[in-house]
Structure 1
Amino acid sequence: MLQKITQTDNSRTTILIRLIVGVVFLSEGIQKLLFPATRGAGRFERIGLPSPDFLGAFVGSFEFICGTLVLLGLFTRLASMPLIIIMLTALATTKLEILTNDGVWEMLHASRTDWSMLLGSTFLLIRGGGYWSVDNKLSAKN
């Protein structure tokens, strides 16, 4: 079971995607936890999400934990799954309104980071942590 979770290729360039995705999610998670009024619960309340206090801490914690795991390349495939869900939710809850009100170009501009994080997380789900990852070291032992 551990081998399936930690399975990865030997690509040495995957670390670039891990750094991009990991740093962004780690920093966003920290901000949601440190600044809940503007980045976490307060923002979720402004966009109309239910239970914003719970949801802000919940999402912030997942971003922090999964971002850290992605940076380490530990359980990379598993860690990328919640990040994909977070990004799909972010696109649906914040960017569809922009698309409806302001059109496709404004939506694409406003969602560029969302798409980057979604695609980067999807890449990590498919490929794993790469050569310079804890996953690779764990897979080599099995």
Structure 2
Amino acid sequence: MTMATDDDGLGREFLGTGWALPVMIAPDTGLIAAVSYEQDIQQSIGIILGTSKGERVMRPDFGCGIHDLVFAAVTAALVGEIETTVRAALRTYEARIEVLRVTVDASQIALGHLEVIVDYEVRATNQPGNYVYPFYFQESANQ
């Protein structure tokens, strides 16, 4: 059995492979397109943050509770609650990473959204990563 390697020769297949999102057919193979390694982790984070709790019938606890906060007034308490909720969801559902920091950037508040910034480290490789999730708390013309 051969081991998938990256450019520096380290095997990374343990980081996983999954369907690419959005789901599509890979033009070169005619099969469902897939993503691997760090890109799979990035898409997993997006799925977790983009899924409301209760949205998945067979896994009602899966997801992130920030969607329950969409109509709340943007205050320092709300920012803290978003940070805590995101950290807890990622700790529960994405075991491949260590969440280093979750911050909320309110500089786009006039456009109707906050940016949730997740800094993390891939546990198995100590590779740092960053994910920015736009959290729309009201209808925005620039989504």
TM over 0.5: no
Bigger strand share: 2
Q: Which structure: greater helix fraction?
A: 1
Q: Normalising by structure 1, report the TM-score.
A: 0.29
Normalised TM-score (structure 2): 0.29
- Determine which structure has greater relative contact order: mean sequence separation of CA pairs < 8 Å that are 6+ residues apart, divided by chain length: 1
